[in-house]
Copies of this chain bind each other. A is one copy, B any other.
Amino acid sequence: MALHHAEPGEIVDVRPLGAKLKQGINATLVLTDHLQVFRFILPAGEEFADHKVHGEVIVQCLEGEVEFRSHGKKQMLRTGELVYLAGDDPHALKGIRDASVLVTIFSGKTNRA
């Protein structure tokens, strides 16, 4: 399942996982030469430490609530909110309420060898 990437025109479910969140897995949903879309599970209390991505990024909160740190500030990213980052912007996430986020990375680089 985790290895399946959507074909163009294929419907992909990104509805909230709800009670199944803690059994959920991080999964890449779309992978092309320049585009990567994945769902990332972030239970309350877990952190994804400072990192950066070589490419523009959109992080969308699909459910729950996440503390989002970038540009020297902490903000709450709540269900139905998204944030855009330029390439190489350092950022970190922490689950405040059990959360899953949709991460979309656009890279001029090729994702696939």
Chain A residues in the interface with B (C-beta under 8 A) = 6, 8-16, 30, 32, 34-35, 37, 56, 58, 60, 62, 68, 70-71, 73, 75-77, 79-86, 89, 91, 104, 106, 108
Give how many copies assemble into the complex. 2
In contact, B83 and A10 (Cβ under 8 angstroms): yes
A32, chain B: closest CB distance, angstroms: 6
Closest Cβ neighbor of A76 among chain B residues: B11
A9-B73, A11-B75 given; A56·B32 CB < 8 A: yes
Known: A71-B8, A71-B9. A16 touches B80 (CB 8 A): yes
| Docked-complex contact B83 and A15, CB < 8 angstroms | no
Given contacts A10-B83, A32-B84, 12 further A-B contacts (CB under 8 A): A8-B84, A9-B70, A9-B71, A11-B68, A11-B75, A13-B80, A14-B80, A14-B81, A16-B80, A30-B58, A30-B84, A106-B106
